[in-house]
Amino acid sequence: MRTQRLRCDNSGPACRLPCAINWLIGNARLRRPNLVPDPHRMPDQHHESPSTAFVAVVGAGPAGLMAAEVLSRAGVRVDVFDAMPSAGRKFLLAGIGGMNITHSEPLDAFVGRYGARRETLAPLIGRLGPEALREWVHGLGIGTFVGSSGRVFPTGMKAAPLLRAWLRRLREAGVRLHMRHRWVGWNGSTDALHALRFETPEGERVVLADAVVLATGGGSWPRLGSDGTWVPLLAARGVEVAPLKPSNCGFDANWSAFFQERFAGQPVKSVAIGVACSEDGAAPPFRQGEFVVTQTGIEGSLVYALSAPIRDAIEADGAATIWLDLAPGWSAQRVAEALMRPRGARSMSSHLQSKLHITGVKLGLLRECLSKDEFADLARLALAIKALPLRLTGVRPIDEAISSAGGVAFEALDEDLMAERLPGVFCAGEMLDWEAPTGGYLLTACFASGAAAGRGVLEYLARGSRDRSDS
């Protein structure tokens, strides 16, 4: 039995195996018996010989490509299949406004962004966290920097150079990409779980592999490949899948025609939002940021950060009320004192602009959400400036969302992300049941889960090789 060893000589950017990937593979690379790729083997030919190992990765996004990198660096032959004409479509779109790779905040706070899945994702992110991910980007020859908000970006802020360098390195490692291959299930003529059916421009194709990584994305951005069509395929095989629903999404509000026409498209800056009051009537906790008024309601970074509790409240009660603090830098007492100052012949709108710098869309929100009597009552107006109730009546469709919640339940997977009901089939990325706000957390978890699935496949293949050797 031959032990395959990978080594990194720490020779800088020219190193063929970056230290970050060397570390990612970790113990999973040890005692990899006979995992030497056969250069003449076609991916749709299946051999039981222990001298070859072929893995099919479905999905050419960050999770799938990271799984392919971990596997290829360990000497496994990997082919990646994707329904789109080119790899990383959603990844490239996410980078249009600035490619936010990860975040620089302390790790404990970082993993807290994953809410109910914090404990589940913490071990994965512990293996490929923000610092390790930055090192991996540097290994592609691309620098990174931390922005004023703590978000981490590649030098140049663009996704395309990073993706090009990554794909080039994967191809040099022997990874083959097959575009316009839509996975439509398993081959009905065999009981093998690794016989995958693909629709291609040339007709249907069956691919036989030794193991499979599914990284097919969630349900947002269907035009870029994340359409959720895999859900019934896994459910039919007994894999538990939580319903897909919007995350980092916008919400509907019943704007008046005047407000909609006058303010749709305008940003609301220097504002804070509180989502829910406690049962004892205490004020809700507020989060500061900015959002945008839309034709149908609200969206934007601050709304996305709070989208999970807002969505869940709407699902439970049919509507949700949030509270807007239109003067987050002012105490309630200071606001009240400013309003109580004599305004003379000035209108209330001029008084608000002069004393509190409230004008434009903020003034419009006050008039939209308050009755005339409430707007004229200075005490009630002061309270509303610090906690203006806005009723949200619906969640925007999932195909408008930045990401999705729901997906393959972690309870249906083992610790290596292999489906308990589908031995040798691993899941990674946004198709798993987790969600996180924007700010680098989505991409980090996709990268980390892809690497974890790759390591899981290595362990699975090693177990199979040992079993064959023992027999």
For 265-305, write each residue's pLDDT tens digit.
999 999 999 997 555 555 668 999 999 999 999 999 999 99
Give the span between the Cα atoms of 60 and 71, in whole angstroms.
14
What SS3 string covers 321-347?
EEEEECCCCCCHHHHHHHHHCCCCCCC
How does residue 31 score in pLDDT terms, banded at 50, 70 and 90? very low
Give the span between the Cα atoms of 191 and 171, in whole angstroms.
32
Tell me the pLDDT tens digit for each residue of 353-364: 888 889 999 999
CA distances from 390 to 19, 198, 340, 370, 371 (A): 50, 47, 25, 10, 13
In 220-300, which ranges are continuous DSSP H helix? Answer: 231-235, 257-263
DSSP run (H or E) holding 456: helix 441-470
Going by their DSSP bridges, the two strands 297-299 and 286-293 should be labelled as antiparallel
Give me the domains of the chain, ranges plus CATH numbers.
Answer: 12-247+402-470 (3.50.50.60), 251-395 (no CATH)
The structure tokens 């027999």 sit at 471
The structure tokens 């016989």 sit at 195
Question: Residues 214, 456: contact at Cβ < 8 Å?
Answer: no
Question: Which range (49-53, 353-357, 379-383, 389-393) has the least confidence?
Answer: 49-53
Within 10 angstroms of residue 203's Cβ, the number of other Cβ atoms is 7
Q: Considering the entire predicted model, what is its pTM?
A: 0.84
What is the 8-class DSSP label of residue 418? B
Tell me the pLDDT tens digit for each residue of 413-437: 999 999 999 999 999 999 999 999 9
Tell me the pLDDT tens digit for each residue of 189-246: 655 678 999 999 999 999 999 999 999 999 887 888 788 999 999 999 999 999 999 9
Within 10 angstroms of residue 210's Cβ, the number of other Cβ atoms is 21
Going by their DSSP bridges, the two strands 394-395 and 251-252 should be labelled as antiparallel
In 198-327, which ranges are continuous DSSP H helix? Answer: 231-235, 257-263, 301-305, 307-317
How does residue 180 score in pLDDT terms, banded at 50, 70 and 90? very high
